[in-house]
Structure 1
Amino acid sequence: MSSARDKFVAFAFCWADALIELDQSRRILFATGATRAMVGAKPETLIGRDFHELVDLKDRVLVDQLLAMTTKRARIHDVEIHMVSPDGKNHPVKFAGYVLPDLKDHHFLALRATVPLNEVGEEEDGVERDKESGLLTSDSFSARAAEQLRSSAASGAPAEMTLVNLPGFDAFFEKLSPDDQQVFRNTVGTTLRANSIDGNSAGEIGDGKFGLVHAKGMDVTALEQTLSEATKAFDRTGKGIEVQAGTVAVDMTAVNEEDLTKGLVYTINHFKEQVGDKFNVKDIAQNMDGLVKEAMQSLNKFRNIVGGNDFQIAFHPILHVRTGAVHHYEALVRFNGKFEESPYKQITFAEETGLIAEFDIAMAKKCVEWLRKNRADRVSIAVNISGNSVDNQPYIKELHTLLDADTWLKDFLLFEITESARVADLNQANTFVQSLRGRGFHVCLDDFGAGAASFQYLSTLEVDVVKLDGSAVKNAQAAPKGRAFLRALTTLCKTLKVETIAEMVDSKESLEFVRDCGVEYVQGFLFGKPDPDPWGFIKKLDRRLFS
């Protein structure tokens, strides 16, 4: 009987993460599997407890009725319920069960976690996967790859990372039916995961671009052939699409896991950004070790710049659209004293490698220091905050400490949320925004109108000002219905009591256009370029623009 039961348990684990047996009064008689991830307790500690205690209050009636159904020989099939752990956390699981009359009418239940579990049955905290294919997202894959490469090297069983590219993936995928698309994604995902080092170390980097960490010496050619055959099976012509795979050699000596992760994020993003059918993934793979080392050198250099406060502020004015009065200055970073040079490359690098929060707090401190020195001049400046930083708790805590030390700052300091598309959780971001507004600081949302999500951002993020994206303004100026569109935007903002700024106003025609559309403030090269001297603008400003 014991051998047979073990076999049935093994079969059950093909679907479930945990198995539980209940008597007719719902008391737990047997438990095994990943119960710690679901209810915060080891299987053996559950014996004798009422199953009800483990279920979320809102789901208890549902569970009672499901168990009642099984007494009539009905099956519970794949129903989602919520389990509760002692710390109050809610864990969604899929629930299946049946009553076996030959075994005292006991309930036999199978529970499957709806979030990924690792090899020891614990939730993968912070790990993001595609629910259909099981593949890690790009950022999660970078972190997993760094972890696996380091741990495998330390254990004496070195691993390798392979990048996979399917040129023509988009066109091929669009031709498939919705059902075939899902099956194809699952096929690719399962194939990559099956070849990865632990069955969970494969990820989707971009459309048609994938990566996996595997044992050293794996037959990459066989992987290419397997994936190629899969594409042929879904192609009516039987041709399929090309599959390219290249194995990356990364020097693991004298590299810590954090820097390796950041270096891999940067280089994997480089792979992700390659477009067209002309680039060869094998060439990228061969050069990747150099790219990782280059990224880590840049990491150290950027850290030294930030840590040493070795950067400068350039000021750019925001003017009233009719009077030309300076409302405030946007504080822009400049490196190496090159005030004419955009910092776009460095800032993008910082965002891609997770250093942007460190930089954002350094920039805030530098601006506060400048305001302290020039407080008598009563100049207001806006500090940029990357969308990546708004949910970074160390950054938020340090910023709050900085602001609380000088409450007078609220009259001279504003904050501008940039790269809002990088905001992962809008509700959490709004909590941060309100923490600033509650302290008396005004907050501006940058890049408004640049994408379809802009209205969702505005409805969720309660801000004081929106900055209309420069390209959106220029497109509106060129489009036949652009004037009406921009007027509608400014009317909406006024209704919400949100002020508007138009950026990239670089000509008299643009100034007249946004003025006619009801925009309240303007920014652009028409009024001067970013400069370390904020007072210079007042002297150089062409007042005829506002007469």
Structure 2
Amino acid sequence: MDKLIKARTTELRNERNRFAALAFVWGDLLLELDGDFRIVFASGASDGILGRRPQELSGKLFTSFLAKQFRPLVAEMLHVARRRGRMDNIQVRFAQHDEQLSPPVSMSGYFLPDLGDHFFVALRVAINSLPPDIAGSIQRDNATGLLDEESLSKVVTERLVAQRETGTEHKFTLMTLNAFDPLCKRMAQLERNELMASVGAFLRAHSVAGDTAGRLGPEKFGMLHRPDVPIGDLERRIEECVRDADPKGIGVEVTSTVTDFTAEVIPPGDLARGVLYSIRRFCDRQDHGFTFSRLMGQADNLVNSTFSAMQDFGMRVDRLKFDTVYQPIVRLPNAEIHHFEVLVRFYDDAGELIPTQDLIAFAEQVNMVHRLDLAMLRRNLKWIKSQLQSGITVRVAVNISGHSLENPDFCRSAIALFERNRETLGQLMIEVTETSEIKDIDTAARWIARFRELGIEICLDDFGTGASNFRYLSAMEVDYVKIDGESIRQSMKTGKGQAFMRSLVDLCHEINVEVVGEMIETDEMRELITKAGFDFAQGYLFGKPEADISLYWRDASPRR
């Protein structure tokens, strides 16, 4: 009899352990609650979730551990579970020591009246779950199943925010499969699809949550992962896989670069912009180098160094800590100065000029160009006022990015600024620049119309360099267009090109838009654009950008 009891006891214990093990497949912490929601049993990782060891939980009211905002929800769900028998998966957070909140926790449970009207609850840390808006916006590379560049940046941002709450460290690896693209092109479709899927599976399996890897180009792949992932082993496995799939048995060489991706104090909004820029910068870091202090060379932590540059850039912009220079635009054919274009100048920590093109690209990619544009308006309206007080009437054109015209906060701030400085608006012009395409043309056109109502003339920069410019000209009311110097040089090489340029100028004149020729550096170019009907010209032939605008009329007072 004793043997039977002992055997039965062992069997029951094994069965209990088996069910407990199965429960831990889903949950990190298992709890049994009595009918009053007090904890009678706890097993698992309670320290990280509830901030107490399992043996300290017995007799404690379960709902007292919840963050206050989740207590009504969980209490109601438990009451519902008493009726329905189960509690569906919900996400909650717990209050820990020092008023810190736990990471997001998924909670599921059952109510079993046959076992003393007790609740059985499983909790699982849900740091890898994505918000519905992020999950719904994800786009993938069809061939590999990996995230595309923007989707990867969104998911990485979410993982980095979660990492703050858990203290987990992550690294980001850029993996290049050299000569992978030509290999794929010479493979049969079926074999190529299998290879692409295999490469995608390798990277996803080693990434955070099994889905924080992306395809960043034909041969470039990125992956956020734990520090203990053996990147060297992964490289070798991918090389073997590709070599086996290559009809010639050659394969590819896989090279990797690893950087830290952490986010210690970066606000989520800035983090999202910084991650996307960092990923892009990481892909072409050998060829691109915008920096104020830390973005040159191989940064140890690319996200944090990007954020440092964002902070530095924002500080300099908001405090107007940059220089401006002025380049004349002259009326043809007599070359009398009509107005000046204002150009911004930033310098790095060593005093070297940062190329303006790199500066604007950085500002646009981290969504900060509107702050620069607003700062330039502030600075130049103040400068115009000081010139008027000195008896100098001079018009200046301030560059505004097309991105800023799609930003309602910028446009409302600009309108408020104009309203406070009405006496200076007769001397202010705006040049709309397009380093990247304006997506919402209708919104941009409405704001331009508001600016023009205040007496501000508008110039469309780089006209004729793309099909989108004609859409802008048709949708926006502007006063001038500026044609890029390289486009002029190419057109003027042939009779057909010259005829095209004359037709373009005539088209603008028909709709009462005047035309500026840019980068005019020789008398021959001046003569060509004058014959083509250009109204204005800009370039070194007429004057370089100067910080002191009075250099242009110290000996020519009639030009005032």
Which of the five TM-score ranges fits, normalised by the shorter chain?
A: 0.5 to 0.7
Aligned-residue offset at 1:308: 1.9
For 1:320-350, what per-residue CA distance to the aligned partner results, in whole angstroms no more than 9, with x for missing partners?
A: 1213232221111234699998544444433
What's 1:517 paired with?
532
The separation in 1 between residues aligned to 2:180 and 2:427, in whole angstroms, is 52
Give 2:225's aligned amino acid: H
SS in 2 for 1:306: helix
2:171 is aligned, of 143, 160, 182, to: 160
What's 1:415 paired with?
430
Stretches of structure 2 lacking an aligned partner (at least 5 in a row): 1-127, 288-294
1:349 partnered with 2:362: yes
The separation in 1 between residues aligned to 2:237 and 2:504, in whole angstroms, is 52
What's 1:485 paired with?
500
Is the CA contact (8 Å cut-off) linking 1:314 and 1:334 kept in structure 2?
A: yes
Is the CA contact (8 Å cut-off) linking 1:142 and 1:265 kept in structure 2?
A: yes
The separation in 1 between residues aligned to 2:246 and 2:197, in whole angstroms, is 16
2:410 is aligned, of 395, 402, 423, to: 395
In the TM superposition, 1:25-424 aligns within 5 A as 119=129, 122-124=132-134, 129-130=139-140, 132=142, 135-172=146-183, 192-221=203-232, 223-224=234-235, 227-228=238-239, 235-250=246-261, 252-253=263-264, 255-257=266-268, 260-261=271-272, 263-273=274-284, 287-289=298-300, 291-335=302-346, 343-375=356-388, 377-424=392-439
Give 1:208's aligned amino acid: E
Give 2:429's aligned amino acid: L
Give 1:502's aligned amino acid: G
SS in 1 for 2:502: helix
The change in CA–CA distance for 1:445 and 1:159 in structure 2 (over 3 A counts) is same
SS in 2 for 1:397: helix
The change in CA–CA distance for 1:125 and 1:290 in structure 2 (over 3 A counts) is closer
The separation in 2 between residues aligned to 1:399 and 1:353, in whole angstroms, is 20
What's 1:106 paired with?
none
1:471 partnered with 2:486: yes
Is the CA contact (8 Å cut-off) linking 2:434 and 2:462 kept in structure 1?
A: yes
Is the CA contact (8 Å cut-off) linking 2:157 and 2:271 kept in structure 1?
A: yes
The change in CA–CA distance for 1:272 and 1:494 in structure 2 (over 3 A counts) is farther
Is the CA contact (8 Å cut-off) linking 1:416 and 1:445 kept in structure 2?
A: yes
Aligned-residue offset at 1:497: 3.2
The separation in 1 between residues aligned to 2:354 and 2:225, in whole angstroms, is 43
Greater Cα shift, 182-191 or 532-541: 182-191
1:437 partnered with 2:447: no
Give 1:465's aligned amino acid: Y
Give 1:491's aligned amino acid: D
Aligned-residue offset at 1:187: 6.3
Is the CA contact (8 Å cut-off) linking 2:172 and 2:259 kept in structure 1?
A: yes
Greater Cα shift, 122-131 or 145-154: 122-131
**Paired residues, number:** 417
The change in CA–CA distance for 1:329 and 1:187 in structure 2 (over 3 A counts) is farther
Aligned-residue offset at 1:461: 4.3
What's 2:514 paired with?
499
The separation in 2 between residues aligned to 1:304 and 1:434, in whole angstroms, is 31
The change in CA–CA distance for 1:170 and 1:503 in structure 2 (over 3 A counts) is farther
Is the CA contact (8 Å cut-off) linking 1:316 and 1:531 kept in structure 2?
A: yes
- Which structure would you say has the larger Rg? 2
What's 2:38 paired with?
none
The change in CA–CA distance for 1:176 and 1:503 in structure 2 (over 3 A counts) is farther
The change in CA–CA distance for 1:158 and 1:332 in structure 2 (over 3 A counts) is same
Give 1:151's aligned amino acid: A
Aligned-residue offset at 1:249: 2.4
Give 1:373's aligned amino acid: S
For 1:158-204, what per-residue CA distance to the aligned partner results, in whole angstroms no more than 9, with x for missing partners?
A: 33322122323454455568998888766655654454323543333
What's 1:59 paired with?
none
The separation in 1 between residues aligned to 2:194 and 2:441, in whole angstroms, is 32
For 1:344-389, what per-residue CA distance to the aligned partner results, in whole angstroms no more than 9, with x for missing partners?
A: 4444433333322211111111111112223353322111112332
What's 2:31 paired with?
none
What's 1:61 paired with?
none
The change in CA–CA distance for 1:501 and 1:194 in structure 2 (over 3 A counts) is farther
The separation in 1 between residues aligned to 2:373 and 2:306, in whole angstroms, is 20
The separation in 2 between residues aligned to 1:455 and 1:170, in whole angstroms, is 36
Is the CA contact (8 Å cut-off) linking 1:164 and 1:243 kept in structure 2?
A: yes
For 1:39-89, what per-residue CA distance to the aligned partner results, in whole angstroms no more than 9, with x for missing partners?
A: xxxxxxxxxxxxxxxxxxxxxxxxxxxxxxxxxxxxxxxxxxxxxxxxxxx
Is the CA contact (8 Å cut-off) linking 2:141 and 2:147 kept in structure 1?
A: no
Is the CA contact (8 Å cut-off) linking 1:132 and 1:186 kept in structure 2?
A: no
The separation in 1 between residues aligned to 2:473 and 2:456, in whole angstroms, is 18
1:529 partnered with 2:529: no
Identity across the alignment (%):
30
Stretches of structure 1 lacking an aligned partner (at least 5 in a row): 1-117, 277-283
Aligned-residue offset at 1:527: 0.9
Is the CA contact (8 Å cut-off) linking 1:434 and 1:462 kept in structure 2?
A: yes
The separation in 1 between residues aligned to 2:487 and 2:191, in whole angstroms, is 38
Is the CA contact (8 Å cut-off) linking 1:314 and 1:339 kept in structure 2?
A: no
SS in 2 for 1:129: coil
- TM (normalized to structure 1)? 0.65
Aligned-residue offset at 1:264: 4.0
SS in 1 for 2:429: strand
For 1:229-278, what per-residue CA distance to the aligned partner results, in whole angstroms no more than 9, with x for missing partners?
A: 665577543544333333322455555555555554444333333589xx
The separation in 2 between residues aligned to 1:240 and 1:440, in whole angstroms, is 64
The separation in 2 between residues aligned to 1:148 and 1:463, in whole angstroms, is 45
The change in CA–CA distance for 1:292 and 1:213 in structure 2 (over 3 A counts) is closer
CA RMSD after TM alignment: 3.9
The separation in 2 between residues aligned to 1:498 and 1:207, in whole angstroms, is 43
Aligned-residue offset at 1:505: 0.6
Give 1:468's aligned amino acid: I
